[in-house]
């Protein structure tokens, strides 16, 4: 009986080792399969991300790839002589292509070619055309007999700024009111001395 018991124990041990080995092999194969699937998903997501930069959703129609340009411009908005700041969270980083950031409301950051100022104001929900400047709450400031909406780029008055693409170190003034030439010069000087936050 001792020999038969020993054989039974050896068979049980071999069966246990075989079953245990098979279970381990099965778990290893499952783990390899899961890790392979994760690797494929991550690789595909990376591929999509790299290719998405050229056609990422939410960007302007003719914009280049994100990172195709990085320009900064100073912006000063004067409404009846008061400075309007874009430093509040409501106006910070509303688009990856062009925005204000870092709680600074005076430096425009542009991150792609083909992005104009019209798109910036659109992302901020500010209505802008050659006659009116309209805040998100609906308050509008439109040219009339008493007051005028004016635009200046690098000290030169222009009729409209919506189609303008900023370049490094540009200075843009939007002014509404009945300013004298002297007051306009003061605003332009303030803009010229405005520090760009890069």
Boundary of a domain, candidates 11, 35, 57: 57
**Tokens in use for 196?**
């760009």
pLDDT tens-digit readout, 2-27: 677 777 666 666 666 666 666 777 78
| Whether residues 2 and 86 fall in one domain | no
| Whether residues 187 and 126 fall in one domain | yes
- In this structure, is residue 117 part of a structural domain? yes
Whose structure tokens read 């040219």? 143
| Whether residues 98 and 176 fall in one domain | yes
Q: Which residue has the higher pLDDT, 164 or 43?
A: 164
Question: Residue 27 belongs to what domain range?
Answer: 1-57
- In this structure, is residue 65 part of a structural domain? no
pLDDT tens-digit readout, 111-131: 999 999 999 999 999 999 999
Answer for the pair 124, 136: CB distance below 8 angstroms, yes or no.
yes
- In this structure, is residue 64 part of a structural domain? no
Transcribe 114-156 into DSSP letters. T--HHHHHHHTT-EE-SSEEE-TTS-EEE--SS-EEEEEETTE
Number of domains within the chain:
2
Residue 167, domain CATH: 2.170.130.30
Q: Is the full-model pTM beyond 0.85?
A: no
């Amino acid at each position: 009986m001792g020999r038969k018991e020993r054989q039974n124990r050896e068979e049980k041990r071999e069966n246990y080792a075989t079953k245990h080995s098979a279970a381990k092999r099965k778990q290893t194969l499952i783990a390899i399969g899961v890790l392979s699937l994760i690797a494929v998903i991550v690789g595909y997501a990376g591929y999509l991300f790299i290719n998405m930069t050229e056609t990422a959703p939410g960007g302007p129609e003719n914009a280049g790839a994100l990172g195709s340009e990085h320009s900064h411009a100073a912006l000063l908005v004067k409404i009846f002589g008061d400075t309007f700041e874009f430093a509040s969270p409501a106006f910070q980083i509303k688009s990856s292509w062009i925005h204000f950031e870092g709680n600074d409301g005076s430096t425009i950051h542009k991150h792609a070619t083909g992005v104009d100022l019209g798109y910036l104001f659109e992302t901020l929900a500010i209505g802008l055309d050659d006659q009116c400047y309209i805040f998100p709450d609906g308050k509008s400031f439109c040219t009339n007999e008493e007051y005028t909406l004016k635009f200046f780029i690098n000290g030169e008055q222009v009729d409209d700024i919506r189609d303008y693409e900023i370049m490094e170190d540009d200075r843009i003034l939007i002014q509404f009111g009945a300013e004298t030439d002297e007051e306009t010069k003061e605003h332009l000087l303030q803009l010229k001395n405005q520090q760009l936050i890069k």
